[in-house]
Chain A
């Protein structure tokens, strides 16, 4: 009986490399990341819209796409924290609205709070809201769906109250503070854009290469070295491409270029969330609880504590989404569709590949899903499709994502 826990041979022949490529591709397609099908879908959408209207891939429109997708991405990431445990939070749409309203009201000309107090307070407010609902769900062992549905209705009322409390507002409050306004509407200079993007790319490449070297040094080189190199090359290429796109002038009348402030905010939330989920005990336990909470409990994990933590992280991310929302719309109004935003957030997470049943999902899923939703939104507008068509196509994409994901997963268990 030979042991088959083996390491790959240190040097591979040409045929082995070819097999390795196929293996890595299959892994990408149906493996743990499961991003294959949706990335292909995303490229198909991009190509289709570009053929129909050449404006689609213009630098200005691509930057616009990132801004449009921000709200879906951030709310999607907030939702993923709770989806990972098999829970759902329907209240985060209005919670984001309340966070935004807190920031708008505190920084208004009436109250004059400095942004560095008002903005963190908005984040704290959203975190507390999620902790309250999380506590009710966990302590009273109630289904999160119903508790947060009540939360959605209640928070809509709270938001109305907040806006109406500011006197004769006419149902909407404008952003009157520069930093809050600039979160989405401000841009870095082209030079800073280059420096920031290249610094991020360099840092990430360093992490990839270092972890590959460490595994190899420990005798765990089960992934070929060229895979790390390919990742780094793709990363550098993407970085240069993004920098060039952001630094192209987007306005016909004046000069408008540079990376919007919103982009590093998105990337920062993504990076922190991914770090917590993959590199810390907290993340490991959140996955374990989502996979089999009884097993987690028997392993000595304080299940309730980690569930509540996930709600808190979700709330904080919701707060960031709220700030960017009011910044983009230059104010907060009673007309905010908090209920619809939540469902788009869930859709973004699921389109990206996160499971509704818990235990499976990544922060990057919200980014890809959010981009897909924004691309459909943006592309359909460019080719003059009516709102009715837009919603039907979004529905089809959501359905297709779930179907493809289910089929790919079935394939992986059959092969694995």
Chain B
């Protein structure tokens, strides 16, 4: 496809960054897009995250699973810059970064699609896709350029159920809205897309469509973190699994290491008799 936007050269020189291995031990290898090392997050006396180590490779779907209160949401909010970690390191493409605000992480190329999707109902699909970064020509909105690019991208992602890209978002179904929110993340050249329960409110066929879309993101080389309670979804779309239990990351690895029974066991008890748990990295 000719329409894939070229990833722009990112200037991260303004971000606080340390050269890999510059300060003491080099703790991450270069294969992972995002690596967390010993991430801890305290809310007063409550420890929401306890020394979490997580690796997210590019081009793969990593399912983040765990029971309510296991720390999944806090973890993704830490990654997306909403909650800066209390301690620990975040490496983006092997360079340490400090994301203090959502803006920092989105400048790195991290997009988060929350459950409420953050779309404007009174605007159409094109207007929502470009909200905040409209194309202009002589100070005037370049509607044709934006509409063509939106059409191309939706075609590329095989989002085929919308009648017209000039449709108001208020007239879309839940699955279509999810697709638009995800497509918007792709349009912004995101390299990591975090999705929080994308199929929670959807019917069967719409769930299938969204999962296909998740798969296509990974096929484009985008890393996806998928939070889901639905193990059927997880096993049908994920490449890797990371299990959280009471603020610790108890296990992570390729999906072939797990089956539904062991996953459920780990979600509920934090360990499985069948899968060896990953020991925490000790620095």
Contact = CB atoms under 8 A, between A and B. Distances in A.
Q: Is the interface of B mostly helix, strand, loop or mixed?
A: loop
Given A3-B158, A280-B140, A298-B118, 13 more contacts: A4-B160, A5-B162, A5-B164, A222-B166, A287-B122, A288-B123, A288-B131, A292-B118, A292-B119, A292-B120, A292-B122, A295-B118, A359-B122
Contacts of B160: 1-5
B154 interface: yes
Most B CB contacts (10 A, CB to CB) among A4, A214, A298, A359 go to A298
Given A3-B155, A5-B155, A284 B134 contact: yes
28 contacts: A2-B160, A3-B158, A4-B160, A4-B161, A215-B144, A218-B147, A220-B147, A222-B164, A279-B140, A280-B140, A284-B123, A284-B141, A287-B122, A287-B127, A291-B120, A291-B122, A291-B123, A292-B118, A292-B122, A294-B118, A295-B131, A298-B118, A299-B131, A300-B132, A300-B133, A413-B171, A416-B167, A416-B168
B144 A416 contact: no
A359 B123 CA distance: 8
The 9 A-B pairs with the shortest beta carbon distances in the complex, nearest first, are A299-B132, A291-B122, A416-B171, A359-B122, A291-B120, A295-B118, A299-B131, A300-B132, A292-B120
Interface in B232-279: none
Interface string B139-177: 111001001100100110010111111111011000000
Interface in A1-34: 1-5, 32
Interface in A276-297: 279-281, 284, 287-288, 290-292, 294-296
A280 B139 contact: yes
Given A5-B154, A300-B103, A295 B140 contact: no
Contacts of B168: 32, 416
B102 interface: yes
Range of interface residues on B (Cβ < 8 Å): 35 or more
A360 interface: yes
Given A5-B154, A416-B167, A220 B120 contact: no
A301 interface: yes
B232 to A, nearest CB: 22
Given A4-B160, A222-B166, A300-B132, A287 B141 contact: no
A368 B156 CA distance: 43
A220 B140 contact: no
B127 A220 contact: no
Contact of A292 (B103, B121, B132, B165): B121
Interface in B36-95: none
B136 interface: yes
Given A4-B163, A279-B140, A360-B122, A284 B127 contact: yes
A287 B134 CA distance: 14
Contacts, number: 90
Contacts of A281: 134, 136, 141
A20 to B, nearest CB: 15
Interface of A: 1-5, 32, 214-215, 218-220, 222, 279-281, 284, 287-288, 290-292, 294-296, 298-301, 359-360, 413, 416
Contacts of B120: 287-288, 291-292, 295-296, 359
A220 B122 contact: no
A215 B133 CA distance: 21
Nearest to B130: A284
A6 to B, nearest CB: 9
A279 B146 CA distance: 13
A222 B158 CA distance: 21
A371 B87 CA distance: 65
A298 B102 contact: yes
Interface string B93-137: 000000000110010000000000011111100010001111010
Contacts of A1: 158, 160
Contact of B141 (A279, A290, A413): A279
A153 B163 CA distance: 51
Contacts of A284: 123, 127, 131, 134, 141
B192 to A, nearest CB: 17
A300 B168 CA distance: 21
Contacts of B102: 298
Most A CB contacts (10 A, CB to CB) among B120, B140, B148 go to B120
Contact of B132 (A280, A294, A301, A359): A301
Contacts of B121: 291-292, 359
A359 B169 CA distance: 13
Contact of A301 (B131, B140, B148, B161): B131
Contacts of B162: 4-5
A330 B26 CA distance: 82
A265 B121 CA distance: 34
A287 B168 CA distance: 13
A71 to B, nearest CB: 29
A301 B155 CA distance: 28
Nearest to A293: B120
Contacts of A294: 118
A222 B136 CA distance: 22
A404 B25 CA distance: 71
A295 B119 contact: yes
B111 to A, nearest CB: 11
